Each structure stands twice: as C-alpha cells, then as structure tokens.
Structure 1
Amino acid sequence: MSDVQQTRFKSRLSAILFADMVGYSRMMAEDEMATTMAVKSCVEMFSALAGDFSGKVIGTNGDGVFLVFDSAVDAVSFAVEIQNRIREQNQGVSENKQTLFRIGINLGEIIIDELDLHGDSINIASRIESFAQPGRICISGTVHDQVSKKLSFGYEYLGAQEFKNISELVDVFQVHEDPAAATLTTGMRRPARSSEYVRPEANKEQSIVVLPFGFQGNDPSESWFADGLADDVTTNLSRFHDFFVIARGSAHVYNDRSIAARDVARELGVRYVVDGSVRKSGPRIRVALQLMDAKRDRTIWGEQYNREIEDIFDLQDEITQVIVSATAVQIEASELDRVRQQPPTNLAAYGFVLQGQSHIFRYTQEEVARARELYDKALEIDAAYARALAAKSRTLNIDWRYGWTDEPDRALDDALHLARQAVDFDNADARGFGELGFAHLYRKEHDAALNAYERALRLNPNDADLMSDMADALAHSGRSEEAVAMLHKAMRLNPFYPDQYIWHLGGAYFNLERYDDAIRTIQTMQNPTEGRRLLAASYGMLGRTAEAEAEARKVLQAHPNFSVDAWAAVQPDKFEEDVARFVDGLKKAGL
C-alpha cells in the first residue's frame, strides 16, 4: 500500500452500537404510515441523545441504527437510557403496536476512510444485537471488562458464541438494569478458568448434561416447549443419587452455540451428553434424541419419537429410563417409580407452567410478573397442580427479595402458603420443599427451613440452586463450615454458577471471621454491586479503612437510601452475634 493510500485510512478504538427494531416487517404490513412515523421518532431520539454520551449516529437502515462512542461506559449508559425512554414512550400503547429495539454493543478497532467505517468489531456488534431480548441490551466480553466495575448494572452471561468469519469465540452478556436480580443469572466461569471448579472425578462414569433441545415448528413462539422438555428431562435425571447431572443454567450457556458434544463434555467435565430436537405440529410432536459417550467419542443411543402431545408425560418417563439404562447406572425400581412428578389434570396447565419458566429465568420485574400470570392460568385449570403452586411461590419470593412489591410481609406469607400447598399436593417434588425452606428462613424459622431443604435435597440430590439456598440457610444458622462445603459441591454441578453462589460463599466466610477469604471470594463476582456490602464490612473488620470507605461509597452510589439498621433487620441470622459482627463491619466502613 502506498503512503498516499495509508494516509486515507485511520483507525481508532471505539464502542460500536447496533439497534434493530423488533417486528418491523409485521408492523409495516399492518400500518405502514404509523410504523414509519414511530421509527422516525425513535431515530430522532437516538440522534438527540447520542451527543450527551460522546456518541454519533453513523447510519440508519429502515429499522436499524448504527452509532459509535468514545468509550464502552458511554455506549452502555446511552443504551440503558434510550431503552428507558422508549419504554416510557410505549406506556399506554397496545403490546402489538409498541416500538421495541434490540441493542448490541462491542468495543474494538474500527478503520475509517473517506466514505465508510470498516472492521471485524463492527460485524461483531451487529451480530451481538440478535442475542438481545426485545427491549434489552447485549454486550461483548470486551465491553463487559470495561463497564462491570464502573456501572451499577447487572450482567448475565449468555455464553461464548461463534460468529461466521470471526476466528475467535466472542463472550456475550445481557445487561440487567437491576444488579440485584442479576445475581441469579448465569456467570462466565469456564471450567478452564475457574479456580473454584473441580471436575467431578468421583462421579465421572455417571456424569451427564442435557443440552437445550432445538425447536422446529410453524410457530417460533412455541419454542418454550422444547426448552421445557429438556429442563424436565434434566430434573428427572437429577433425582437419581448415582448421577452427577449438570444444572440447567450451565447447559443453557450452549443454547445458541454450535459445539461438538465431546467438546461440551470436556468443558463441563462430564462423560455423557444428551441433545436433540423437538418438532411440534398441532396435536403431534416429534422428538429426536441422541446420547453421546464423550469418553469413547461415539453415539451410544439415538431415537425418534412420534407421539400425540397428550403423551408427553409418558414420553418423559420413557426418555429418562432409556438414558438411565444406556448409561448403565444401577437404579432401584422404587427410585424409578418416584421420578415422575404428579402431572396436571389438564395438559394446558403444563403448557402454561412451561411458558412461565421461559419468563421467570430472565429475572426482571416485568418478566417475573408475566411468569406469575401464566402460573395463575395453570392454577385456574388445576388448583391442585403442585408444580404451578411452587413456581408461583418462587415469584413472590423474588418480589420480596428485590423489593418489587408494596406489601413485602404479605408476599412472604403468601409464598409460604403456596409452598405448603405444593408439598401437600405432591410430596415427591423438590421444588415445593425448596420454596418452603426459603420462606421459613426469612421468617427466621431456622429449624423449619433446614428441615424443608433437607427434604428437597433428598428428593433431588443434584439441584445446585437448592444446594446454594440451603447453604445460605446453614450459614445463617451458625453452620458456616457446612455451608462452604455445600457451595463448592453446587459449583461443581453448575460450573457456570450465578453470582448468588459467590455471595452466599462470601457470607459464610464472613461468619467464620475469614475476612480475607470473603474479600477474595466477593471480588470474583461478575456483578460486584451487590457484594460491596460484604466487601465494606470485611475491609472494616480488618482495619483497612481506606478500602472499606471506598466500598461504602460505592454501596451508597448504588443504593442512596441504604440503612445499616434496615439491612440488619432483614438479615435472617439465628445468632445475634453474627448480625452484630456484620453491623460492626459496616459501621467501621462509615455506613
């Protein structure tokens, strides 16, 4: 390239943002003029606001907008603000006419010439946008590295994605405006990187992961059916004591990623991988499955099932038993008999529960409320459906935990009542006992909480989230050493574990007065905002005043109305000295 040609090109590090309107073609077909005006209004909003965040609109293309920013912090701050404004603009507008955008952001070098911008970084940003839910924001790993410690948002790990013509995998995260709720979402903890992760050698011959099933059908909105079936097969397998079953959260990291079964097995430290697809057409389903033995690198079983949709529960049982037989695990007949949960009296109730699950795991106030509506629909059909009762109880617990209700005491009481109903109607389902344990804990009924969690784990010994919750109850009951051991086991079962596991582990270390361990643990959180209270208290107890006060300032930045006394009242510790120690640490930090 000549010197003259080189002077025509410049490169710079920039944050690249792509925004794309959801349902543009459908809306144009329904009302071309109204849709055009709505898009024009949003593009004008993008242009007017971008300058306040060091950004500039580079181009538009019908339903899409392309912007660049000087920094990743500015780009993410802009994206959150623009989504909030669009959300306000949609208030009072019917759901099918709302203007929603997906946003994707990447950070990297861009090449600038006299006519255009170029570079892989731009292509990556445009592809990241497609991973976002409507009205949400997705970012690359390079953006996450820049903003996670600077912006008080939450970040959910969606996995390492392979993009066409991009040589390296790209980590993708979805932004949560509520950092507290994000503590429950998947974390970026690849086994090769994680010092906490220990491969399950003791269970290696009976270790398994069920990958998300692909969906094929005329209505993409019914994809929840495939997700629900895969999750139910996972739950059924995880009830067997001789199995080591990877949690659904870690399996879902591979949902949109093309990767060979043997590579999944290597990353997760398991021997067997189940994957498959579901085709639904009217009242019939076709389920194609295969079971891979990664140790021998061969498929040991494959089957295609063509059934009526009403046979779904028998099909789940059959799939579970075939997998158990194919992996040569010795299971007593009595354990096989109790695998199947009580089915609803009407298949429609089951469908509403599966749809609810597709919403609740997104952990936003709106999505949790939507999940509860669907669980209520299931209960209208079958008031004794234990799974729906337990699921609704969970929504009320989440509302209570994150302050999404104006009546917190009632929410916790109702959650307890629903959990009791769930275990009364089906005492072989671990979900109800898990919700019962959580509700009892925050009523400071410690023995009842631990009894409920013990029942839950006897029914489902591989449920990593149950282990994490029980470990937290153990720590609050003065049994922190047991809590630490249980949390490490949960992390092995769920290698892409959420920040909540780390939060619970840090709390257990704090109760054991292992403050350095608490600090090191909390510093590994993907979303550090909700761990700063523990950091401030731990630094305070170690006499590291400057660091304690710095964390305290960040606590107040995220929660301006934070009160030590109010937080102490919420803490469900059994022993007053544990609460007093935590309060002492917070006050030493200046809170």
Structure 2
Amino acid sequence: MSADSPSSEIKHRLGAVLFADVVGYSRLMGQNEVDTYSALKSLLVRLEDACRKFDGHVAEIRGDGVLALFDTASSAVRFAVELHRIADENNETRPEDQRIHFRAGVHLGEIMTDERGVHGDIVNIAARLQEIADPGRICVSATVYEQIRNRLRYGYEFLGPQTLKNIANPIPTYCVRSEVEGVTMAATLRPSPVQPEQPRPDTPSVAVLPFVSMGGDPSDGWVADGLTDDIILNLSKFKNLFVIARNSAFFFKAQSMSPRDAARKLGVRYIARGSVRRAGNRIRISVELIDADSERTIWGERYDRVIDDIFAIQDEVTESIVASTAVLIEAQERQRLAQMVPNDLAAYGYVLRGQQYLHKYTRQDNHEAHTLYEQALERDEGYARASAALSRTLNIDWRYSWTNDSDQALDTALGFAQRAVNLDPTDARGFGELGFVHLYRKDHDASLGSYRRALALNPNDADLHSDFADAMVHSGDNETAIHHLKQAMRLNPYFPDQYLWHLGGAYYNLKQYDDVIETVNKMNNPTEGQRILAASYAQLGKVDTARTIADKHREAHPNFSLDHWAKVQPDKLEDDTQHFVEGLKKAGF
C-alpha cells in the first residue's frame, strides 16, 4: 500500500466523543439573527477554553453544533455538565425567549480521524444521543455509563435501549443530571429486572395512563397531567383495588403502546386512558376503561362541561372505573373519595402546576413547586392539600440540604403537615409528611403512627409504603419494613433507587450482607450506595474490596464525616447505628 493512499492517512484511537447542539437554533435565528449569531460565537469561545481544562479539544463546529474529543469518558461527561452550567450562566442576562440551551450526547469507542475531520460510528451515535436528550440534559451510552458510574457523583436515569436514526442496533442509554440527590427519588427503568415478574393480584388491578392534552397550547399539559394524578389518587384510596403508582404510569406518557402491552409491563388487568381539551372556561374530557386481555372497552364516557365542574368529573370517572371493575365501595371509602376541594379553583390550578415541578426532583424545580403551593394557600388558606404539598417541598429541601437553614426547614415542614391534617383528616399526604418529620426529629412512635394513618387512608401509595419502611428500619422492625418495600415495588414497578437504599438498610440491620450487596448493586446511582456496600463487604471479611469502594466514595463525597453521619441518624436502637459505624470503620472510613 502506498504512503499516500487514503487508508494510510486515517488514524485510529480509543476515546470519547461529545456532540452538543443548540435547541431551537432556527427559531432563535429567525427572531434575531445578528444577536443570536454573536451570542453563540461568544459562548463557543468560552466552551473551547473550558474544554481544554477537561483535557479535551473541540474538533469541529458544525453550524450550531460542537464536536469535542476526549481521552476518557469521565472527562467528556464532566465537560458536558460544565457546558450546561456555562450556558445557564450566559442565559442569566438574556431574555427568556432568546436563551441558548444545549442538548448533549456522549459515546465511547474507536475514533477515526484524517485531514477532513472526525469519522466513525462513535460520532454518529454521539450525535443521535444528543437528539433524544431533553434541553439542558446529557444522554450517554451504556458504555460511557459503565466507566463513570462509580467515579462521578452525578444522577443517572436509565432510559432503556433507544432506537437511534440510522444506527443499526438499539443503544442502551442513560440520562445524566448534575444533581444526584433527586434522581434517587425519581422513578426509573433498570437494565435488568430487580425481581421476577409477579402475577396479577387477586383484587381487580388497574393502571391509569397519562391523559393526552389535545389543546393547541402546550402549556395546557398541566391540566391533563393533573387530572391523571388526581384520578390515580382517588382510586388509590380503595383497599379492594390494586392501583399502579403515578410514577410508573407516567413512564408511558411519551410511548405509543397497546393497552395489552402496557398492562403486561405493569402487571394489571385494566387500563384507563383519556384525553383533555380545554377552550376558555370549558373542558372536554374523554375517558375509557379497557380490559387488557380482550382489548375491549368496557366503559367509556365523554364530559363536556365548564371547567368549574372538574371535581365532579373526577368523582364520576373514579366511581365509574371502580364500578366497572366490580369492586365493592364501602361507605367509609366512598366518603373518603369526596376529598376536600379548594374554595378557589385557581388554588387548585396552582397545586397542579406545582405537581409538575415537584416530580422532577431538582433544587430549582422544588423551589418552583414551593412557590406555587404558597400561591395556592394565599388564594385559599384552608386548602389542606396545598399545606401538605408545602410540607413536602420543605422535607425535600431538608433531606438534600437544599436550604441554608435545615433545622428551620424541618420545623416549618412540621407546622404545615400538622395544619394539613387538621384541615382535612382524610388526606393521606399530610400524615405522610408528618411521619417523615417525626422520624428525623427522632420521635419514632409518632412517626410510625402517622404513617399507619396515611396508609389506612391510601393503601396503594407506593412512596408511602417505602417511607414507612424506612421509618420501620430506623425503629428496628426490619422484617416488616422488607414486606412494605416489596409491596411498594409491586405498586411502582419502575421504582426509584430510594426503595433499594431502604431495602439495603433493612438487610444490613439483619446482617444479611450478601442480600445488601445484591440489592445495592441494582441501583442506577451506585455512588449513593457506596457506604452500605463497603460496610457489607467489610463485615464479610472482604476488606480489600471494601476499601476500594471506600476510596471511590471519598472521591465522590469528599466532605463525608462519619461522626456527623452517626449523629444525624434517626435510629431508635443505638446498636443499629454502631453496627453500621463498625462496618464503615472496617472499610477504612
């Protein structure tokens, strides 16, 4: 082969490729071509400088897209996070409709370069991963995830195998979030089943899929999502009905799937679905209940009413689903269905908008939810649901240290939770928030009592089962905790890492260290389980493995203090705390 042949000019090396692209670039250019071009040019200069700090270099600028090369997956992902931070900082001085946001994709493999640029599947896959990322997010291949999962303390959500344009085989994909805390609470797929698929329960079982918003205004989506939320909530109150949790049901929001397939994935007999169209002060809601075995609609209805009737519509839909699945409605449960509604419909709107932010589990979104719940209470100070929701945002702030005064946040959360249960003693949410606050104030009996009241009011709330289980673990009743966690996982098949964390804690207290290791290794965010994992290996005598994990933990959590951790643990039994401290010390903490 001659020295000047095309093949001899191609260089091969292993590395990571990042592709980032501006969201809605054509729209921005159409609004103000000169300003957008100037702003992007300035931004790209900053990004090139930042890229070098992460041992990478920008290989190409493709219009509004950036192609950068790195030696390691860790460097590429750290730069991707920095890219979004720089863009957000730059946007602070720009009008909201002129802000520049990126999507990013990262893949790891063999890079081919020649005098014409960078080539190969690795570039194509990175570019296609970028296309499926939400604005401000990073999508990475499983190859990248395996390299960074124990090294970088970010949040990882498994999106499943993704079919990418012009890529032959589906690519298992993860979304990376800079804030890891909230991801442990968010529902997620997992690369492999955590437990064998369970048969349908003996009682009638139903999943309510997210209602579709048919209006022309995308911002009206909160109406459809909120209505779905509330129908699930109302159905959950019937103990003779098995209802899939909201988080798992909402996994099907962007998917096109037959009722039979959705029912099979969720392990239920019936699927409810519908659509919402809002026009002025009128709302049209279509609902149908489908028997997944026969794919036959066994009940359907269309409501064309003024929007003030939305609470009556919710009640009608709930009772029709319950009646169609042949469940006896006890008088007490029927009475409980009539939840206290706000005097001001606008207050209800604020709560529904708040729910959209709350379930995103980021510091900023939690703050947005908090503000909306406050506005709801300003409109209707007697609205129990808004008070319970405010308590929830404060509990989340406390849990993840998203507030400067953690003690005050917990005290304020307690006040709002108590106010909620006083206003409406039939609402499970207020009692659930009371249970959380009492636990971390180390009032175990009050915590367990509040959770029991909450579950009596809403026996199908998966997160309540998990939180109750956590309180049981800290109170020394680990076997009961495991039972509730398994029930939570069945109600919420796409359960968050938090369930696994709680389950690992129960197994550790029972000294079932192999079960701890098996459980924690199924977390999508392993840096959050490294302490209990290291302690379990150490207790099994595998000290070298334990200390390797402890070293990774120090890298991801440089500010961890064992003394501080032991002080804030809400264990009722001192022996449980010391048992964990013993394992951590053996592991080298």
Q: Could you tell me how far apart the structure 1 residues matched to 2:284 and 2:161 are?
A: 30
Q: Match of 2:522?
A: 524
Q: Match of 2:195?
A: 196
- The within-5 A match list for 1:101-112 is 101-107=102-108
In structure 1, the residue corresponding to 2:176 is in which secondary structure?
Answer: strand
Instruction: Return 211-220 or 522-531, whichever deviates more.
Output: 211-220
Is residue 79–residue 137 contact of structure 1 (8 Å, CA) maintained in 2? yes
Q: Residue type matched to 2:445 in 1?
A: D
The reply on whether 1:76 has 2:107 as its aligned counterpart is no
1:25 positional shift:
4.8
Q: Match of 2:35?
A: 34
Is residue 111–residue 120 contact of structure 2 (8 Å, CA) maintained in 1? yes
1:13 positional shift:
6.8
Instruction: Return 313-322 or 430-439, whichever deviates more.
Output: 313-322
Q: Match of 2:185?
A: 184
Note the alpha carbon deviations across 1:64-120, whole angstroms, 9 max, x for none.
Answer: 334455543332222012112223333455544433222233456788788677777
Is residue 87–residue 100 contact of structure 2 (8 Å, CA) maintained in 1? yes
Which of 331, 351, 354 is 1:353 aligned to? 351
Q: Could you tell me how far apart the structure 1 residues matched to 2:297 and 2:59 are?
A: 50
Q: Could you tell me how far apart the structure 2 residues matched to 1:433 and 1:316 are?
A: 23
1:269 positional shift:
1.4
Distance verdict in 2 for CA 1:46–1:248, change over 3 Å: same
Q: Residue type matched to 1:537 in 2?
A: A
Instruction: Return 486-495 or 104-113, whichever deviates more.
Output: 104-113
Q: Could you tell me how far apart the structure 2 residues matched to 1:451 and 1:139 are?
A: 44
Is residue 200–residue 492 contact of structure 1 (8 Å, CA) maintained in 2? no
Instruction: Return 469-478 or 529-538, whichever deviates more.
Output: 529-538
Distance verdict in 2 for CA 1:484–1:303, change over 3 Å: same
In structure 2, the residue corresponding to 1:217 is in which secondary structure?
Answer: coil
RMSD (Å) for aligned C-alpha atoms: 2.7
Note the alpha carbon deviations across 1:109-149, whole angstroms, 9 max, x for none.
Answer: 78878867777765654454355443232334443334323
Is residue 197–residue 495 contact of structure 1 (8 Å, CA) maintained in 2? no
> TM-score, with normalisation over the residues of structure 2?
0.91
Instruction: Return 231-240 or 117-126, whichever deviates more.
Output: 117-126
Between the two proteins, the alignment pairs up a number of residues equal to 585
Q: Could you tell me how far apart the structure 1 residues matched to 2:37 and 2:311 are?
A: 47
- The within-5 A match list for 1:356-367 is 356-367=354-365
Q: Match of 1:479?
A: 477
Q: Residue type matched to 2:236 in 1?
A: S
Is residue 206–residue 268 contact of structure 2 (8 Å, CA) maintained in 1? yes
Q: Could you tell me how far apart the structure 1 residues matched to 2:117 and 2:323 are?
A: 60
> TM-score, with normalisation over the residues of structure 1?
0.91
Which segments of 5 or more consecutive residues in structure 2 lack a partner in the other structure? none
Q: Could you tell me how far apart the structure 1 residues matched to 2:433 and 2:28 are?
A: 42
Q: Could you tell me how far apart the structure 2 residues matched to 1:310 and 1:16 are?
A: 53
Q: Residue type matched to 2:99 in 1?
A: Q
In structure 2, the residue corresponding to 1:330 is in which secondary structure?
Answer: coil
Q: Could you tell me how far apart the structure 2 residues matched to 1:419 and 1:337 are?
A: 22
Is residue 151–residue 555 contact of structure 2 (8 Å, CA) maintained in 1? no
1:222 positional shift:
2.5
Q: Could you tell me how far apart the structure 1 residues matched to 2:408 and 2:38 are?
A: 45
Q: Residue type matched to 1:585 in 2?
A: G
Note the alpha carbon deviations across 1:19-69, whole angstroms, 9 max, x for none.
Answer: 233454554455433222111122233333334546554554554334455
Distance verdict in 2 for CA 1:583–1:260, change over 3 Å: same
Q: Match of 1:390?
A: 388
1:280 positional shift:
2.1
Q: Match of 2:295?
A: 297
Is residue 212–residue 274 contact of structure 2 (8 Å, CA) maintained in 1? yes
Note the alpha carbon deviations across 1:401-452, whole angstroms, 9 max, x for none.
Answer: 1111111111101011100111111111111111000000000000000010
In structure 2, the residue corresponding to 1:201 is in which secondary structure?
Answer: coil
Note the alpha carbon deviations across 1:467-489, whole angstroms, 9 max, x for none.
Answer: 00000000100101100111111
Q: Match of 2:273?
A: 275
Distance verdict in 2 for CA 1:266–1:164, change over 3 Å: farther
Distance verdict in 2 for CA 1:231–1:158, change over 3 Å: farther
Which of 256, 259, 270 is 1:258 aligned to? 256
Distance verdict in 2 for CA 1:70–1:457, change over 3 Å: same
Q: Residue type matched to 1:176 in 2?
A: R
Note the alpha carbon deviations across 1:217-276, whole angstroms, 9 max, x for none.
Answer: 232123122111111111111111112111111122222222222111112211111222
Is residue 157–residue 186 contact of structure 1 (8 Å, CA) maintained in 2? no
Is residue 354–residue 372 contact of structure 2 (8 Å, CA) maintained in 1? yes
Q: Residue type matched to 1:149 in 2?
A: N
In structure 2, the residue corresponding to 1:202 is in which secondary structure?
Answer: coil
Which segments of 5 or more consecutive residues in structure 1 lack a partner in the other structure? none
Is residue 215–residue 223 contact of structure 1 (8 Å, CA) maintained in 2? yes
Is residue 18–residue 105 contact of structure 2 (8 Å, CA) maintained in 1? yes
Is residue 196–residue 491 contact of structure 1 (8 Å, CA) maintained in 2? no
In structure 1, the residue corresponding to 2:287 is in which secondary structure?
Answer: strand
Q: Residue type matched to 1:466 in 2?
A: L
Distance verdict in 2 for CA 1:467–1:324, change over 3 Å: same
1:198 positional shift:
4.3
Note the alpha carbon deviations across 1:192-230, whole angstroms, 9 max, x for none.
Answer: x42424414333x61111112222223212312211111
Is residue 476–residue 572 contact of structure 1 (8 Å, CA) maintained in 2? yes
Q: Match of 1:308?
A: 306
Q: Could you tell me how far apart the structure 2 residues matched to 1:158 and 1:249 are?
A: 14
